[in-house]
Amino acid sequence: MTANTYPAARLDRKRAALLLVDHQVGLLLGVHDHDQEELRRNVLALAKIAKAQDLPVIVTTSADEGANGRLLPELQALLPGVRVVRRPGEIDAFGNAEFEAAVRATGRDQLIVAGISTDVCVAFAALSGVAKGYQVHAVLDASGTWNALASQAAALRMQAAGVVLNSTVAVAAELLHDWREQGGAELAGIFAEHALPFYGSLVSFVASQPEPAGV
Amino acid sequence: MTANTYPAARLDRKRAALLLVDHQVGLLLGVHDHDQEELRRNVLALAKIAKAQDLPVIVTTSADEGANGRLLPELQALLPGVRVVRRPGEIDAFGNAEFEAAVRATGRDQLIVAGISTDVCVAFAALSGVAKGYQVHAVLDASGTWNALASQAAALRMQAAGVVLNSTVAVAAELLHDWREQGGAELAGIFAEHALPFYGSLVSFVASQPEPAGV
Amino acid sequence: MTANTYPAARLDRKRAALLLVDHQVGLLLGVHDHDQEELRRNVLALAKIAKAQDLPVIVTTSADEGANGRLLPELQALLPGVRVVRRPGEIDAFGNAEFEAAVRATGRDQLIVAGISTDVCVAFAALSGVAKGYQVHAVLDASGTWNALASQAAALRMQAAGVVLNSTVAVAAELLHDWREQGGAELAGIFAEHALPFYGSLVSFVASQPEPAGV
Amino acid sequence: MTANTYPAARLDRKRAALLLVDHQVGLLLGVHDHDQEELRRNVLALAKIAKAQDLPVIVTTSADEGANGRLLPELQALLPGVRVVRRPGEIDAFGNAEFEAAVRATGRDQLIVAGISTDVCVAFAALSGVAKGYQVHAVLDASGTWNALASQAAALRMQAAGVVLNSTVAVAAELLHDWREQGGAELAGIFAEHALPFYGSLVSFVASQPEPAGV
Amino acid sequence: MTANTYPAARLDRKRAALLLVDHQVGLLLGVHDHDQEELRRNVLALAKIAKAQDLPVIVTTSADEGANGRLLPELQALLPGVRVVRRPGEIDAFGNAEFEAAVRATGRDQLIVAGISTDVCVAFAALSGVAKGYQVHAVLDASGTWNALASQAAALRMQAAGVVLNSTVAVAAELLHDWREQGGAELAGIFAEHALPFYGSLVSFVASQPEPAGV
Amino acid sequence: MTANTYPAARLDRKRAALLLVDHQVGLLLGVHDHDQEELRRNVLALAKIAKAQDLPVIVTTSADEGANGRLLPELQALLPGVRVVRRPGEIDAFGNAEFEAAVRATGRDQLIVAGISTDVCVAFAALSGVAKGYQVHAVLDASGTWNALASQAAALRMQAAGVVLNSTVAVAAELLHDWREQGGAELAGIFAEHALPFYGSLVSFVASQPEPAGV
Amino acid sequence: MTANTYPAARLDRKRAALLLVDHQVGLLLGVHDHDQEELRRNVLALAKIAKAQDLPVIVTTSADEGANGRLLPELQALLPGVRVVRRPGEIDAFGNAEFEAAVRATGRDQLIVAGISTDVCVAFAALSGVAKGYQVHAVLDASGTWNALASQAAALRMQAAGVVLNSTVAVAAELLHDWREQGGAELAGIFAEHALPFYGSLVSFVASQPEPAGV
Amino acid sequence: MTANTYPAARLDRKRAALLLVDHQVGLLLGVHDHDQEELRRNVLALAKIAKAQDLPVIVTTSADEGANGRLLPELQALLPGVRVVRRPGEIDAFGNAEFEAAVRATGRDQLIVAGISTDVCVAFAALSGVAKGYQVHAVLDASGTWNALASQAAALRMQAAGVVLNSTVAVAAELLHDWREQGGAELAGIFAEHALPFYGSLVSFVASQPEPAGV
């Protein structure tokens, strides 16, 4: 399993692409292994991080005219120029030729995957990605599924297959390497607004400190 | 306890005022009886509801230059014209003359109170309000405190003293009476954006249904 | 509070009516103080119990063409002859003249109320019912609301106003008095199929015991 | 509510009787508001406490030939001389003439009640007991019910009706008054073996301390 | 561990068989790592999925005349033509010659296993299946066991032995590949009725949307 | 219940005394309704608050040579001059003549009570205190008991008997009235060190802010 | 990791020995990742299972004259003839020559290990056992530790080192193979009395079914 | 994975160094997978253990003039002579040359790492450490992160990469080997004061036992 060890498995902004799979308004309502609003905030954070780091982003949805619902409107609003691959029936995103071609066209060999649900959309895309030779990072806390045992099964299945398990804040930090590099200035703001509300409180707190004479 | 029964205890937009007590960025970080982000969304919802219903709103903070932190900036942004009574030391908001005068000046006899913490800022203001002859509604889910036993103690203490225990969505619905009245058109949007994210999903869902030919 | 004590406050099949308020498919998706499926099973049990005990049943919905969604289809299927009062805007069911007339027409003075949400639909109907002179039983576990603090606020507010807090199985048992009376034969089946799945397991268990020679 | 205040509401070994209602093997399997084994330990503790304090004990079961199951065998073993009132159909134990006569025959005016379920067997017996002029103590942690909302409803309903809410260890301590009185010598052992396993560990711990020279 | 990676480890409707091990009414009552009703819904979903996908299904029970209880009657009703291998004593299902022969007779090399309990019936069958050369998928959320640590031990033990950990909805989706293939039309209905009640709500929701003029 | 309303029920540093009942090292190990360390921090905070506000403090223990264990050593260290009433057998502290005389000798009419366990030591002292004419405040989060149902029973029993339910931070704030009064300077430090560790973090945070040029 | 797969890793009554490490009354009081009473019941079950299967049993304690406390007295009572290796200081049991010799003297190559704490006593003995060439099964639910993260760390560390993670009931079932073999008759009783109280209820339930004429 | 097995992977006081990464007052406020105060106690314990065992300690912080906050003051106070590497921007501590040089200068090949957050600071340092040839132990319960899924992802990612997952008490015990060696005398005190408060209670308990005549 050395493939999961540094430096080979370290995310690199020149090598990575972000794949967001089936973050749809209907599916979000069934997530029970994770706070639905924390999931929503994390996927918005991932989208902003990808923009700040110039990562290619591919968004896909499944049967979005039925009970699954459309793409989360806040996510669509954040990614105005991004094409959404609307899969008519393929459950594994890599089973859709347009999606696979779009991934290949990015020229990237590291895939950051999040989606709903963890055990279906994320796991299938991750397992297929590994089978096709990509290094895959599954972002557990920007994903969600129907119950705690399905969540555990998905995590352990992906781990056993060589998928790197990751999280929203760690993906951002791993791509950035150093707060002084490209995107660093925006990152605290993305954390504060989306992924880490407590950090937003601390940023407000620092900003609201009285002038020194008042301390 | 007939004072807590309808019709006497029904909130009325002509009789009610909203008091927001110590929703400060530092204090929010200590809330452990309630999801901090749900609390934040609920107090923003209360502020918007008050505007939609033309309720007087009084905001107050305690020692906001120290560890308590400043007023939540999102809340301040929602209430541009509202004066904030910055209490220099009085813990019970009614112990501050400016606050009490502001409440009296509203001419209202129903006080809707939320704050941090439930057992201090909310309970003291509520108990003093009852003592001064107001009918008081404490909004538990737009408030929060340090642990579950403090939360329970505060709720039961207020109940025993004749305070009406209430919740964010119920306050909105009770003031509105009928979705066809003033503010009704905005209320679903306030719920969707703040207090009830699942409702936002359903609203998105309704809006995203395919054109009729597609059903 | 002697009004809440036996014998005055004991449910009686000749005095009671069942009011089901806003058990709608959209609203159910927002329930977070209670398992959504347990709520669904309990309201189905209440409907069957009412039929077995010949109680009048009144069903009402709120704005059922929008995000609230239609009445739960399983509930509608169980109550084929029951008229549904579709309220166009009134939040308190007693604010709708048709609903109030239907309640009055039952001639009953005990109202068993369940609904979504506990703090809005149930609490408002219960408080208005008390104000109009009814004895009201709120069935907490056939109702649900958005968060635990709203649930607690609703329960304590209703208790303070003289509403009797009750639960699905207790309502059934209180109406029945004795397993040998009308409806008793069906009740174990209703519990087994809906309100108490463990009881269904035990009933299967008893039924599956081997023939006596095998014991 | 002075009836709930000391000294009138203090349990007294000369005034109290213990009523154990429907602690049956089938019903125990459906308890979900409380650890089933802690419930079992507490009811065994109550039975032993009653013996140590010479309280009259009345045990009753409901339909014990069907899915409810027979009386817990450990409980039966602890109470060899106690008659069990096997109710053929009455749900409220006081609806059974034999049970009511047995209670009356004790000559006691304080009833300590525990059972399964809290919202049915305990609440009905407690409410009827209050209606008949007894002071009733409901022992919540030697009772149990199907879900958390049913548990909350039962507790608040009984509180509103004047029932004293109590707990296993408190009942024992309240009857005893002083560790040096009758039954005191046995009580630590009852706690250690049943109601408070940590106390059993501490007793073992004290007993296992090395001889002084070894400290 | 490449055996756990795609494409080798992808479920295929031509290669897979479903084994349901000891879903018995008595055993279900002891499940504490998972909601018992969610487990019940998931195993019913698996049975329906197998039928829709033409998978061979083998059902087995252990000592079903004693405390384990008979096969869940709902499961038996769903699988009228399926033979149930009633094991008289062998704990590992593969220790029973009839069971092993039935599995071999299917000619399938992928085994989907669910049962009660995860750490005994599922783990033993899965470990023996791997030892016999099958690729085994254990469906965690259609299985259950006695406590959280036993659940964790079973999952990690099976992962270490090369069993693929899976979940109900993922098994269905993995077999289907594409919603437009055989069984796809039925799958949404199976999810809605059994495995994913929220999905049933959404389907009702979509179906209940008003005609376009009404929006 | 006007006795529970302001201004009559407001704690006053001239009227109040603090009673700490049975905070012993053995008993603490059995607390399961509350984090044991949070309980420990809160009782230390109460002791310091009493000193800062010049309240009389009475400490008592029960059978402290056996399994209950001695008084918490940290608590004893904080209160060097305070006499500890070591009760040889009386469970209700007011049953001990020395304790009762000590309380009477304070000349105070408001009693702030905390202890282990809530349902025995706190409830009995509180109920006896009310019976003797004191206004009693029970501090729930500086107390603890054996399980959640015992905790709930104790809180509701005390509420019904007219005891004011309170919490550690609220007691401090209620006694202080205004941060600029006696004890105010120390209170933030007491909160930071004991009752509210998050507050300690914020205080450290404020203190560690860089010099203004660095902001 | 084929060493963890069947048939090599299947427990065998001729190959296995049971090691119980530091189940002491003091240490049990610190367990927080598992119900302390469930742990106690499981270790008693393991001891009885070993006797029924004729497994060698080695019990060891660490510094049992200090705060760790003596061996659980119930465990000692169950194992009258078993020598207890009282380690004066070695934390890893295999660091004690007497313990290691005792293990070697059993002639067994499969070690079943349980103890307090999972991350210290169990993990160290398990890791040393693997290093010495034994196949080791760690019984998670007859062990316990101080917090959930320590529990997770210990489980994953042992899994990575080739320890088989197991559970009490699975160990019993794996040793037995078939309910008709040696020890099978006793096993249901051991489960009913110790490891699986629900099973005890079912056994009582079966035994209490009425005579056939009564069904 | 033999690298994770004893004896190679056993911590040794001659081979190990302790790295504390980003235990800062701001970051601590965002920890939600673990009790913040337990984390604080554990990191203080680690620092004391390192001193007692003469381990080199390296402390580092990230951007400690902004929202992350300064190093925990209690930690700083415990380590007066330890240099703190204040990283201006590098997120992976090994990306900072001063830090890497300090680690190399210790001459140790076993690194014990704890920090906030587990998925960023701990995981990156651990993965880089492994890549550089160190054996790395990550101390999960002296670390923390933002949500449970991020915590799980970090643990499984590190496990897959060959990091040994460990816990505070186990690290201490593993370094010590035998209570009679260097540091053993202090260790019980460190546990009692920091990592294991229950142990402190037991130690107090032992110390408070009455003189022999009194037992």
- Burial code (b: 16+ CB inside 10 Å, e: under 16) for C120-135 equals bbbbbbbbbbbbeebb
Nearest CA in chain A to B211: A65
What is the model's pLDDT at position B208? 61
Banded pLDDT at E164 (limits 50, 70, 90): very high
Walk along chain H (215 residues) and give the pLDDT tens digit of each residue: 456 788 888 999 999 999 999 999 999 999 999 999 999 999 999 999 999 999 999 999 999 988 999 999 999 999 998 989 999 999 999 999 999 999 999 999 999 999 999 999 999 999 999 999 999 999 999 999 999 999 999 999 999 999 999 999 999 999 999 999 988 889 989 999 999 999 998 988 887 654 433 22
Tell whether ipTM is more than 0.85.
yes
Inter-chain contact C35–E40, Cβ cutoff 8 Å? no
Percentage of chain G beyond pLDDT 70 is: 95
**Which among E166, E178, E195 is the nearest to A153, CB-wise?**
E166
What is the model's pLDDT at position F213? 31
What is the model's pLDDT at position B215? 25
- Specify the higher pLDDT residue, B205 or A12: A12
Asked whether at least 3 C-beta pairs link A and H within 8 Å, the reply is: yes
- Distance to chain G for C199, nearest Cα, Å: 13
What does the pLDDT look like over C125-146, one tens digit per residue?
Answer: 999 999 999 999 999 999 999 9
What does the pLDDT look like over B1-20, one tens digit per residue?
Answer: 456 788 888 999 999 999 99
Inter-chain contact F206–A209, Cβ cutoff 8 Å? yes
Residues of chain D positioned with their CB less than 8 A from the CB of C180:
88-89
Cα distances (Å, whole numbers) of residue H121 to B105, B184, E57, H27, H91: 54, 49, 49, 11, 7
Q: Which domains does chain A have, with CATH numbers?
A: 16-208 (3.40.50.850)
What does the pLDDT look like over B151-186, one tens digit per residue?
Answer: 999 999 999 999 999 999 999 999 999 999 988 889
Inter-chain contact C205–E35, Cβ cutoff 8 Å? no
In total, the C-beta contacts within 8 angstroms joining chain F to chain H are 57
Contact G145, G117 (CB under 8 A): yes
Residues of chain F positioned with their CB less than 8 A from the CB of D168:
150
When pLDDT is averaged across residues A10-17 and rounded to a whole number, the result is: 97
Percentage of chain F beyond pLDDT 70 is: 95
Residues of chain C positioned with their CB less than 8 A from the CB of G209:
206, 209, 215
Say whether pLDDT at E44 is over 50: yes
Going by C-alpha positions, the residue among C39, C12, C13, C5 that lies closest to residue C25 is C39
What is the model's pLDDT at position A161? 96
Say whether pLDDT at C211 is over 50: no
Mean pLDDT, rounded, of chain F: 92
Query: Environment class of residue C54 by beta-carbon count within 10 Å: exposed (0-12), middle (13-18) or buried (19+)?
Result: exposed
Q: Which of C18, C111, C121, C164 is catalytic?
A: C121
Percentage of chain C beyond pLDDT 70 is: 95
**Which among B67, B127, B145 is the nearest to F5, CB-wise?**
B127
Contact C58, C18 (CB under 8 A): yes
- Distance to chain H for G54, nearest Cα, Å: 30
What is the model's pLDDT at position F207? 77
Mean pLDDT, rounded, of chain D: 92
Say whether pLDDT at A65 is over 90: no
Residues on E contacting C at a C-beta cutoff of 8 Å? 25-26, 28-29, 35-38, 40, 64-65, 69-70, 72-73, 197-198, 201-202, 204-205, 208-210, 214
pTM of the model: 0.96
Cα distances (Å, whole numbers) of residue D206 to A104, D199, D200, F41, G67: 70, 10, 10, 26, 10
**Which among F6, F164, F205 is the nearest to B131, CB-wise?**
F6
Banded pLDDT at A94 (limits 50, 70, 90): very high
Inter-chain contact G91–H159, Cβ cutoff 8 Å? no
d(C-alpha A27, C-alpha A25), whole Å = 6
Q: Chains with 3 or more CB pairs closer than 8 angstroms to D?
A: C, F, G, H
Q: Which of G121, G154, G171, G195 is catalytic?
A: G121
What is the model's pLDDT at position H207? 77
Contact C174, C201 (CB under 8 A): no
What does the pLDDT look like over C189-200, one tens digit per residue?
Answer: 999 999 999 999
Inter-chain contact B167–C153, Cβ cutoff 8 Å? yes
CA B80 to chain centroid: 17
What is the model's pLDDT at position D134? 97
Asked whether at least 3 C-beta pairs link B and G within 8 Å, the reply is: no
Mean pLDDT, rounded, of chain A: 92
Largest CA distance in chain D: 65
The DSSP symbol for C22 reads -
Going by C-alpha positions, the residue among G180, B11, A170, G59 that lies closest to residue H92 is A170
Inter-chain contact E70–C208, Cβ cutoff 8 Å? yes
Residues of chain G with pLDDT under 50: 1, 211-215
Residues of chain H positioned with their CB less than 8 A from the CB of F69:
201, 204-205, 208
Mean pLDDT, rounded, of chain C: 92
Task: Return the sign of the alpha-carbon dihedral for residues F143, F145, F147, F151.
Answer: negative
Place of tokens 């002491």: G24
Contact B49, B189 (CB under 8 A): no
What does the pLDDT look like over D14-56, one tens digit per residue?
Answer: 999 999 999 999 999 999 999 999 999 999 999 999 999 999 9
Say whether pLDDT at F197 is over 50: yes
> Dihedral of the CA atoms A174, A178, A183, A186 (nearest 10)?
100
Say whether pLDDT at E103 is over 60: yes
In total, the C-beta contacts within 8 angstroms joining chain B to chain F are 125
What single string gives the DSSP state of each residue in chain F?
-GGGSTTTT---TTTEEEEEE--BHHHHTT--SS-HHHHHHHHHHHHHHHHHTT--EEEEEESTTTTT-SBPHHHHHH-TTPPEEEESSBSSGGGSHHHHHHHHHHT-SEEEEEEB-IIIIIHHHHHHHHHTT-EEEEEGGG-B-SSHHHHHHHHHHHHHTTPEEE-HHHHHHHHHSBTTSTTHHHHHHHIIIII-HHHHHHHHHHHHPPPGGG-
Contact F181, F153 (CB under 8 A): no
**Which among C65, C197, C214 is the nearest to E65, CB-wise?**
C214
- Distance to chain C for G180, nearest Cα, Å: 17
What is the model's pLDDT at position A182? 85
What does the pLDDT look like over E55-96, one tens digit per residue?
Answer: 999 999 999 988 999 999 999 999 998 989 999 999 999 999
Say whether pLDDT at C122 is over 70: yes
Residues on H contacting F at a C-beta cutoff of 8 Å? 25-26, 28-29, 35-38, 40, 64-65, 69-70, 72-73, 197-198, 201-202, 204-205, 208, 210, 214
Beta strands, E only, B4-83: 16-21, 57-62
What does the pLDDT look like over B26-40, one tens digit per residue?
Answer: 999 999 999 999 999
